[in-house]
């Protein structure tokens, strides 16, 4: 059965990159996984159920909830970058970034919590950008907001026996990272004590742990996976290195 045998897990942004790696790890650990995304999966697994879902669509969330009589975990992984820098931040970029990165997780929680029994787990994927200032204004502010939503949810849902935790990845090699400028990559890499960017394989096992009963007494936690980057906080150096480019 595996460590997650009998558990139903919903993963947003599960078609590619970090989300796809999480989906694979969860399925291999025995979970029944429902992977949602606005994109088609690159490598579709036969042991995973795929559903198209825009996390900003409240009705879409309700339709998904109607398909699932029970849910043991929700991983709010879907996110967008929003890299425009102050003062040149477009309102459309700002609103879209908050819609996906903050409202999406809220809608998921609202839709699926009624189906969650005691012992269930919600994991919000934040970012190290939620620990300090960062030049991508909309992205940073949205991840700080998601971090706050995580704390509030851990308080409100604890009485139901539902755990809520945040995972804060650093620079992970995903399609999102591929779109970063070479200047950003070089400057950031120089500041990572472990001397490398992360891979999706550095994140996926943590998701399995947080869904599993081995983390039964963890809630409201913020787990940083960044190779030591925020151990010394160097975002101003990165910002200076990339000049006016995000």
Hey, which residues are catalytic here? 139
Number of residues that make up the chain: 246
Chain centroid to CA 136: 17
Name the β-bridge partners of 33: 9, 48
Q: Which of 101, 203, 207, 90 is nearest to 144 (CA)?
A: 101
What contacts 96, CB < 8 A, 6 or more positions away?
Answer: 80, 82
Q: How far apart are CA 207 and CA 73, in angstroms?
A: 10
Are the C-beta atoms of 123 and 210 separated by less than 8 Å?
yes
């Amino acid at each position: 059965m595996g460590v997650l045998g009998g558990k139903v897990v919903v993963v947003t942004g599960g078609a590619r990159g970090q989300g796809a790696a999480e989906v694979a790890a969860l399925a291999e650990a025995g979970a029944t996984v429902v992977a949602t995304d606005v994109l088609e999966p690159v490598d579709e697994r036969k042991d995973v159920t795929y559903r198209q879902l825009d996390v900003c669509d409240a009705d879409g969330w309700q339709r998904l909830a109607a398909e699932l009589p029970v849910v043991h975990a929700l991983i709010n992984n879907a996110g967008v970058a929003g890299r425009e820098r102050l003062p040149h931040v477009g309102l459309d970029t700002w609103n879209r970034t908050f819609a996906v990165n903050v409202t999406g997780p809220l809608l998921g929680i609202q839709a699926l919590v009624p189906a969650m029994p005691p012992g269930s787990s919600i994991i919000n994927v934040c970012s190290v950008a939620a620990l300090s200032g960062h030049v991508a204004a909309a992205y940073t502010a949205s991840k700080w907001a998601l971090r706050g939503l995580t704390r509030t949810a851990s308080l409100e849902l604890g009485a139901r026996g539902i755990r809520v935790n945040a995972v804060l990845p650093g620079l992970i090699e995903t399609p999102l990272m591929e779109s970063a400028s070479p200047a950003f990559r070089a400057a950031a890499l120089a500041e990572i004590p472990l001397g490398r960017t992360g891979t999706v394989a550095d994140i996926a096992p943590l998701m399995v742990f947080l869904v599993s009963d081995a983390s039964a007494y963890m809630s409201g936690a913020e787990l940083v996976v960044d190779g030591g980057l925020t151990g010394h906080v160097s975002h101003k150096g990165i910002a200076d290195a990339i000049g006016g480019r995000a």
